Structure 1
Amino acid sequence: MTSMASIDPAPPTEVNGLIDRRVVVVDDHQLLSESLALALSVQGYDVRRVPVPAHSGAPAALVTAILRVRPRVVLLDLELGAFGDGNRLIEPLARADVRVVVMTGSPDRARWGRAVLAGARKVVSKARPLSELTSVVRRANQGLGLMDAAEREELLGAWHTRLVENDDIDRRLAQLSRRESAVLGQLMAGLSVRDIAARGVVSEATVRTQVKAVLTKLGVSTQLAAVSVANRASWHPPTEQAS
């Protein structure tokens, strides 16, 4: 038998001799959350849907709303619309002894690893059958292990690799000069070399030289790749550097 790497769970809460089957679904996609709630309800679970705020903000209020329901299991999406990254909810929920199961449409294994590091017991792709999600909920509710050591190590390794890559990207971005940072910011905004030259009242040849310097310092060969690198690092040029 494969050894399980998940933390030993607390025993399920019992009420009148029955295991507590309360599940909270946190997902801003109404169709999926309704389908999950219906499928789990048919299996005898007490399913609650906690609304996701339609604006960005600190996670504390949403965590409080979830814990008020006193769930055994939380099914959590990572993409919560305007509210932002669902990863921010995992650690405080896990500290409250809630078994968090992440469901996501993202194929980014590094992001999955970040969720596991924060305390998620399992990450399941939304592309998987609904029956697989409900099976994971059943195992989580019963206090069973959800992830073997190999899967856990692979996901955590992907997140560690991403952190190393991000450190390298940050170092490269820090090498950009004031003008190069401004040019990269304008490329990210969708401006062409001609547009950037017109805004800066300089020649297109000058801008192309600056773009070439940006590509060299970032270690990429195209403007699209440079923009992708900056976006992945959530980088923005300082406002005072914009032209």
Structure 2
Amino acid sequence: MASSRSQVRVVIVEDHVLFAESLELALSVEGYDVRRLTLPTEPCSPGTLVAGILRQHPRIVLLDFDLGRFGDGVRLVEPLAKVGTDVVVVTAATDEARWGQALRHGARTVLSKSQPLNDILGTVRRLNQGLSVLDVHEREKLIRLWHQRRHEIADLQTKIDLLTARESQVLGHLMRGRTVHEIATSSVVSEATVRTQVKAILAKLEVSSQIAAVGLAHRLGWKSPVA
């Protein structure tokens, strides 16, 4: 049974001030009790930010993925959902596997910031009425994409773990755009030695070019040991 809108507290967790203010105004005009969380100016733990949100006693949380200094908002979804808060992710991110991750952790739905503002208002209305806000098949599809991404990342990690310390250093240099000649000069080894190391990297990562190896490392979010 729907609650009076004035009794429904909506907390907005968003680092884009103009977008947050637009949401706050639109929801306030609709009659909801709206609070906009002030994000910390310094990095903090997910627990600290979750505690700050829960102190507002929200019924619904509108949450962005990208929260400036805090980082990835997906870390907030599960602890908020576990205490019964309806979490709606509102994001500019278009990576559907990332959407699936939020859903897997308990978000009710994910909305794009490119959608009309009324879509967000409509979602809040439906949640207040106890109605579904995401088709079951769409939810399953997005979560499946996330699981596939996890398997791909695990496979990439297994490959990159095969690299020796020296090969990891060479890959790090390649990620910085350095040529074989530059790597050889800075490492005081022959170019033939570096080329042999690059060939070993390509073989272990199962790619055919330096560009592909660098792309794989970036996709994994791999951090090079090169200072």
Q: TM-score range by the shorter chain?
A: over 0.9
Superposed CA deviations along residues 6-65 of structure 1, whole A, max 9, x for unmatched, are xxxxx66x5xx6662210110101111111111111111111110122333311111111
Of 46, 65, 73, the match for 1:59: 46
1:146-165 per-residue CA deviation (whole Å, 9 max, x = no partner) reads: 11210111011001101110
* Structure 1 residue 105 corresponds to structure 2 residue 92: yes
1:82-123 deviation digits (Å, cap 9, x = unpaired): 211101100110011100000111111111111001100000
Counterpart Cα distance in 2 of 1:57 and 1:221: 41
* Matched ranges for 1:145-224 at <5 A: 145-224=132-211
8 Å Cα contact 2:6/2:33 also seen in 1: no
Amino acid at match of 1:219: E
C-alpha contact 2:5 2:33 (8 A) present in aligned 1: no
- Structure 1, gaps ≥5 residues long: 1-10
State the distance in 2 between where 1:20 and 1:160 align: 37
- Code of the residue aligned with 2:13 in structure 1: it is V
Aligned Cα RMSD in Å? 1.9
Indicate if the aligned counterparts of 1:26 and 1:74 stay in contact, CA closer than 8 A: yes
Deviation at 1:134, TM superposition (A): 1.5
Report the more deviating stretch, 220-229 or 127-136.
220-229
Matched with 1:34 is 21
TM-score scaled by length of structure 2: 0.92
Query: For 2:174 and 2:193, how far apart are their aligned partners in 1?
Result: 15
Q: How many residues are paired up?
A: 227
For residues 97 and 60 of structure 2, the distance between their equivalents in structure 1, rounded to whole angstroms, comes to 23
**Partner residue of 1:233?**
220
> What amino acid is the match of 1:170?
Q
Q: Separation in 2 of the partners of 1:18 and 1:158?
A: 35
Q: Does structure 2 retain, via aligned residues, the 8 Å contact 1:79–1:85?
A: yes
TM-score by length of 1: 0.86
SS at match of 1:91: helix
Superposed CA deviations along residues 107-147 of structure 1, whole A, max 9, x for unmatched, are 11111111001100000111111111111121122221111
Task: Return the structure number with greater relative CO, CA threshold 8 A, min gap 6.
Answer: 1
Structure 2: give runs of 5+ residues left out of the alignment.
Answer: none
Taking only the aligned residue pairs, the percentage that are identical comes to 52
Is residue 108–residue 133 contact of structure 2 (8 Å, CA) maintained in 1?
A: yes
Pair 18,146 (structure 1): closer, same or farther in 2 beyond 3 Å: closer
User: 1:68 maps to what in 2?
Assistant: 55
Amino acid at match of 1:139: R
Alignment of 1:64-143 (within 5 A): 64-143=51-130
In the TM superposition, residue 174 of structure 1 has moved relative to its aligned partner by 1.1
Q: Give the Cα–Cα distance (whole angstroms) in 2 for the partners of residues 182 and 23 of structure 1.
A: 49
Do the aligned residues in 1 keep the contact of 2:6 with 2:32 (CA within 8 Å)? no
